[in-house]
Amino acid sequence: MKSFWNLLKRNKQLAISLILLSMIILVALFAEKFAPFDPLDADMDKSLIAPNEINKLGTDKLGRDLLSRVIFGTRASLGSTMIMVGIIFVVGTLLGMIAGFFGGWIDPIIMRLADMMISFPGLVLAIAIAGVLGPNLTNAVIAITAVSWTKYARLSRSLVLRLKKNVYMTAALVTGVRNRRLMTHYVFPNIFSTMLITAMTDIGTLMLEIASLSFLGFGAQAPTPEWGLMLNEGRTYLATAPWLMIYPGLAIAIVVITFNLLGDSISDLMEPPH
């Protein structure tokens, strides 16, 4: 524990990003405690009220408190992004490990499938998939996952191919170690840090993609408080009620910057000393 605090003292960027991340997670977990009003409680008499003492960030077109919706939007936006990153990490890493370790006929099948997905613009393909599946947050996660796993598969495959050339891997194969044990005890632990850094640095980008699909109408649907959807709902009133876009956009920017800072800090820590 003492070494951890010393690390934070030396690395200010890591300390700041961890503090911000802790605050974001607390807001997501305890949104009911932080939100002053019900995010779904509409009151047309309070439609498009500017920020004031009661409604700190103003209200939307239905009179719903914007601060409460931004707070609950943390849960929807962050939760869906973390689930998606976890799925992409597991699926992409596992397929890449299988392709690199076993080779043979399974390697070109997985890699050609990855090449096929990469050949299309990612967001355009995600929009097409979400359009076919139907517009909701779950299908948006599935759509982005379908076009994003390829990066992890190609990276883990290249790492596994490099590992297979090491002497200890050859020795393990000669001594008759089972493939399952090789994968779990030799391969995965050696590629985990690189894959984790990649996932951490991708969280911000993937959150932007989720927000983009919601903004375009292929993600979260009303009345769900989700930042991308809130931006879409507020764009009509940009001139008359700019707070409808400013605060959800600011929330997205803060979370994305936080995860980018954290990813950079972890990447620096994982690098071998020169």
Query: What string of pLDDT tens digits covers the 274 residues of the chain?
Result: 567 677 777 778 888 888 999 999 999 999 999 999 999 999 899 999 999 999 999 999 999 999 999 999 999 999 999 999 999 999 999 999 999 888 888 999 999 998 888 887 788 889 899 889 988 889 999 999 999 999 999 999 999 988 887 777 777 777 777 878 888 888 888 889 889 888 988 888 899 999 999 999 998 888 889 999 999 999 999 899 999 999 999 999 999 999 988 888 887 777 655 4
What global pTM score does this model have?
0.87
Q: 31 is written with which tokens?
A: 């949104």
Alpha helices per DSSP H over the chain: 2-10, 12-29, 31-34, 66-102, 106-118, 122-133, 137-163, 167-174, 179-182, 188-215, 227-234, 243-270
> Which single residue is written with the structure tokens 């590992």?
163
CA dist., res. 98 & res. 229, Å (int): 38
Spatial CA neighbour of 209 closest among 149, 141, 116, 134: 141
Spatial CA neighbour of 163 closest among 73, 244, 96, 259: 96
Q: Looking at domain 62-270, which of 1.10.940.10, 3.90.230.10, 1.10.3720.10, 3.30.300.30 is its CATH number?
A: 1.10.3720.10
Domain ranges of the chain: 62-270
